Amino acid sequence: MDDGSILDLTSLGNTDNTPRFKDVQCAAEMNFYSFNPCQPFTEKSCTDAAVCILNSDLTESISIGDAAKAAFQYNQEQQAVIVAYTSGTIVDLKLSEIVLKCDESACTPSIVANGQQSAGDFQLTLTTVCACPNGCDAKGPKRCKYSGAGSLSAGSYLCIIFFSVIILYLIGGLIFMKFVRKKDGIEIFPHITFWRSVPVLVQSGAKFTVSKVTRKEATYNTI
């Protein structure tokens, strides 16, 4: 970038000749797209490809972007860097544009196939922290601000608190009963009398619920 910051997509690409983003469907046209940053891949008839399009039943494929033909440019209108790949000849040129969407919480990248924009012109949107200036190096994200779907929900926090309290209760209770009350065997379990009664209480509650559900309503004859 002009300020010296770097966008590094190296960590996003597979190095085993397979696409990192494979067979992503564009719902508007039912075709599938595969993409792999920085390293070429092969899928059916697509070889040394960066971007490949496949038909709706995945039986045919066409390379729409060669891995060796990449160009980066900042798009002022979209406020994003776009990676453009070309494939084919002048008379049958294919152009694929990958819009790099910066999201500092997107430590796990996601991609959307926007499909064909015009004849021979295709577009995908890649959302990742690596699209942010200095967000990644060759090893991966340098920092991640987890939020939204990537963060813990309120329910998750409640579960963590609940199980933490249970663990503290058990450990603290066992220590207290063992070393303060001097109990042995099953008697070192805290509140053993209550816990012994739990199965009986559960059984009684279940029977009560079943009896209410299966009870037949009384009927009356009118005179």
* Tens-place pLDDT, residues 75-134: 888 889 999 999 988 778 999 999 999 999 899 999 999 999 999 999 999 999 999 999
Q: Which long-range contacts (CB under 8 A, 24 or more apart) does 81-86 make?
A: 81/7, 81/131, 83/9, 83/37, 85/50, 85/51
Residue labelled with tokens 């926090």: 157
Superfamily per CATH, domain 10-150: Mannose-6-phosphate receptor binding domain (2.70.130.10)
Q: Phi/psi of residue 160, each to 5°?
A: -60, -45
Share of the chain above pLDDT 90, in %: 51
199: helix, strand or coil:
helix
Mean pLDDT of the chain: 86
Q: Is pLDDT of 211 > 80?
A: no
Q: Which of 66, 90, 70 is nearest to 82 (CA)?
A: 70
pLDDT the model gives residue 219? 53
What mean pLDDT do residues 1-9 have?
91
**Residues linked to residue 122 through DSSP beta bridges, in sequence order:** 96, 116
Select the more confidently predicted residue: 179 or 149: 179
94: helix, strand or coil:
strand
- DSSP annotation of 174: H
What mean pLDDT do residues 150-179 have?
78
pLDDT the model gives residue 217? 54
Mind listing the pLDDT tens digit for each residue in 21-34?
999 999 889 899 99
What mean pLDDT do residues 200-212 have?
77
Beta strand pairing call for 121-128 and 110-118: antiparallel
For the chain, domain boundaries: 10-150, 154-207
Q: Is pLDDT of 169 > 90?
A: no
Q: Is pLDDT of 150 > 50?
A: no
Distinct helix (H) and strand (E) counts, the chain: 2, 12
Residues in contact with 146: Cβ distance below 8 Å, sequence separation at least 6, in sequence order: 105, 107
Mind listing the pLDDT tens digit for each residue in 32-51?
999 999 999 999 999 999 99
Task: Return d(Cα 106, Cα 55) in angstroms, integer.
Answer: 29
